[in-house]
Structure 1
């Protein structure tokens, strides 16, 4: 089995989920590391030290160690401001491996800055480099425009990483398409492995029981939105759709929004929360919208199971794990026709796809499910079968394990004549 270095510069598996920079990547790194360790691999996760109270090293799980890298001040910094510290991050990783006499078999970098930081170790120690971008700068800029606070340097760095990496992990067909068409990626170096969910953590609860625990009206049509409270998630679109559903379709609809830190004024979540509250007021549905704030992972099955439908309509989403979690809880999902969402949802079978920023279209699909609960149940069961077949973390990590072992095989088609150990990344 292999010794694997997982690099995740801003997304630690220790972080509380739901914050501005804490979401799918944190979950991905945590679960992939655990599952790879269960397969017998030894894992070191390198993540930036963002709290002076954290130890330099932490035995986090069996065969999984977290290494807190001192790069920049030991405090929480927005990921858009971390690029200047990646040189320091990379030097520390290289010195750490040398001091502990570690020879990693593969490096798995998550996000473009992690790949940049991993380059000294990959280059100097001749270690294959696999990269999961999780989000691509050119796609982000296309969708977020002036709200994208990353430097334009990101584009050049990503282009070089795509050229240099031994393997690129695409998370969905759209991701692969963007890598090839926007970054001229070599298709032979791309392998597609999706994100996943944990079936022991996300499982259905009887709807009546879940609603009693949450105090939800048993007779109303309940819609759930769950995720980080940032503008691109399109929560405003869901609120406007619920208003149309109540006004035009006469459905007694209620919306629960789970996610976001609603108490710390220093966080951007509060500004978005205020904006969304104002929208709910202006749409005259504030009494039918519950902003529940962040909830612990062990409570999520209860929220998914209490709902009639899960909705997520971001206008930009590289993959999106929450649809999988809802599907695991036997709920139909309505999602925007973008990124990984249009891969996880089978339109008309496990839920519906709608255009982002189109509350009228969303309201119409919600009305279909509200008017035909038996059909909604069938969609939920179809989604659960799809999730179980394709998207468990066990499935994801087994696929990654095969890729990582192939990278060390002399006969692997993933090995390119010009590997990361022989090329220099342009800064």
Structure 2
């Protein structure tokens, strides 16, 4: 789903002529964007070490906005204890959420945080955030920079650097009009580059080539 993944396969010896980049897609008709709601900042994902949740907790300590963490995982109890011990009082652990609850959490957020510290391919949470008109502040790692365009659909920071992440969060929070503009660009990007038609067309081209209808 990402050019990053394609390049990694090429690096381990897979013939590049046999590799095709087909992005994930999302049905934007199912998502009503909301550019004005900025009740909190949001993380959605597995509570495990590689997701960078500890970095996120350190980054938001003392920031004048609530962080809502959606998801569960093997490090969940440890992160809850860490937040309590470090007196990080502006964080709420929502646990696992689906359906309308999850939709509302996305819809009412200022922006999504993606502090991954290990390679991500093409996270669907980014597409969901974009579909709701929400920018993303994400780690500059793996396939994330292909989706999060610095200064346009969000901001990037060095993985594991909680101080830089804090700076990026504060930077956006102090510029509400930028959040709106980035959200609109994010929605536009997902409509144009990650829609079902683009995905299916790319798949059909691969199938046609495989069947010998087109030259490889």
In the superposition, the TM-score normalised over structure 1's length comes to 0.48
Match 2:70 to one of 252, 258, 261 = 258
C-alpha distance in structure 2 between counterparts of 1:409 and 1:358, whole Å: 49
- Match in the other structure for 2:33: 204
Gaps of 5+ in 2: none
Larger radius of gyration: 1
- The CA deviation at 1:180 is 1.4
Contact 2:35-2:184 within 8 A present in 1 as well = no
Is 2:30 the partner of 1:237?
no
2:2 aligns to what? 172
Q: Which residue of 2 aligns with 1:154?
A: none
Q: Which residue of 2 aligns with 1:3?
A: none
Asked whether the equivalents of residues 35 and 133 of structure 2 are also in contact (C-alpha less than 8 Å), the reply is no
SS in 2 for 1:200: helix
Task: Map 1:1-400; keep pairs closer than 5 Å.
Answer: 171-181=1-11, 183-205=12-34, 207=36, 222-243=40-61, 246=62, 251-260=63-72, 269=73, 271-285=74-88, 287-316=89-118, 317-400=120-203
Structure 2 CA distance, aligned partners of 1:400 and 1:410?
Answer: 14
Cα distance in structure 1, aligned partners of 2:131 and 2:70: 17
CA-based RMSD: 1.8
Measured against aligned partners, the alpha-carbon deviations of 1:247-291 in whole angstroms (never above 9, x if no partner) come to xxxx4121101112xxxxxxxx2x411111122123211x32111
State the distance in 2 between where 1:330 and 1:206 align. 6
Which structure ranks higher in relative contact order (CA pairs < 8 Å, sequence separation ≥ 6)?
A: 2
The number of residue pairs the alignment matches comes to: 215
User: CA shift at 1:384, angstroms?
Assistant: 0.7
Instruction: Tell me, yes or no, if the aligned pair for 2:135 and 2:179 is still in contact at 8 Å.
Output: yes
| TM-score normalized by the length of structure 2 | 0.92
